[in-house]
Amino acid sequence: MNDVSTNEDSNGRLLEPPTLAGLDIENAVLRLIDYAASLPASDLFLAPRKADGAVSARHLGVVRTLMTVPREDLTRYINHFKVVAGMPVDQRLWPLDGRWVGTIDAGRRLH
């Protein structure tokens, strides 16, 4: 994984993108969500590219690439989100828009 940028949280503190190497898919996805929430980001985007995958977030109205990950890992992250959101895993012809509601940090609700 290559860090692409460093971002600030809502208090102006610099936040390094999380390390996902060696984590199972569920924990890697939880780290991505926690990181995006700490910015705070309004949206999280997972975009496959030819050689790798980009993880981006909309933060303060601007979409920024947070990190790149191996394409195989990105596919696993996307499939995990699809399963959790009840979306069709086999649909790959066009981008899908979905919504997920969850809780982090002892009850902080995300949607």
pTM: 0.75
Task: Please compute the mean of the pLDDT values over residues 53-79 and round it to a whole number.
Answer: 93
In angstroms, rounded to a whole number, what is the distance separating the alpha carbons of residues 111 and 104? 11
pLDDT band at 67 (very low <50, low <70, confident <90, very high): very high
Q: What is the pLDDT of residue 101?
A: 65
Tell me the per-residue pLDDT of 14-58, one tens digit each, with 9 for 90 and over.
578 888 989 999 999 989 988 888 888 888 899 999 999 999 999
d(CA 44, CA 63): 9
**pLDDT above 50 for 3:** no
What percent of the chain clears pLDDT 90, i.e. is strictly above it? 38
Q: Considering only 3-12, 18-27, 90-99, which range has the smallest mean pLDDT?
A: 3-12
Nearest-5° angle of CA 46, CA 50, CA 52?
50
Q: How confident is the model at residue 9, as a pLDDT? A: 61
Tell me what the pLDDT averaged over the chain comes to. Answer: 81
